[in-house]
Amino acid sequence: MLARYFRLQGYDVKLQLGVDEHSINVDRKARELGLDTQDYCDQIVERFCIGWLRSVHFPGQ
């Protein structure tokens, strides 16, 4: 709903989605790296948030 609102206001909106820690592919990759699935997802989320904060522009800034 917010993405649609800001698009209508003329902003370039990027909709980011979360990480699915229940995915078979995520579980496989975590095992491959010798990590717990939750720890692996936490690492992904951290990188995701850093990338998102670099690309997002808030109105008025």
On the question of pLDDT at 3 being above 70, the answer is: yes
On the question of pLDDT at 25 being above 80, the answer is: yes
How far is residue 35's CA from residue 31's CA, in Å, rounded to a whole number? 6
Choice between 22 and 41, residue whose per-residue pLDDT is larger: 41
On the question of pLDDT at 13 being above 80, the answer is: yes
Query: Does residue 5 sit within a domain?
Result: no
Overall number of domains in the chain: 1
Query: Does residue 12 sit within a domain?
Result: no
Confidence at residue 15, expressed as pLDDT on a 0 to 100 scale: 73
Query: Does residue 39 sit within a domain?
Result: yes
Contact partners, residue 6, CB within 8 Å, separation at least 6: 13, 59
Question: Tell me: the pLDDT tens digits for 27-56?
Answer: 899 999 999 989 998 888 888 888 777 777
Expressed as residue numbers, the domain containing 36 is 19-56
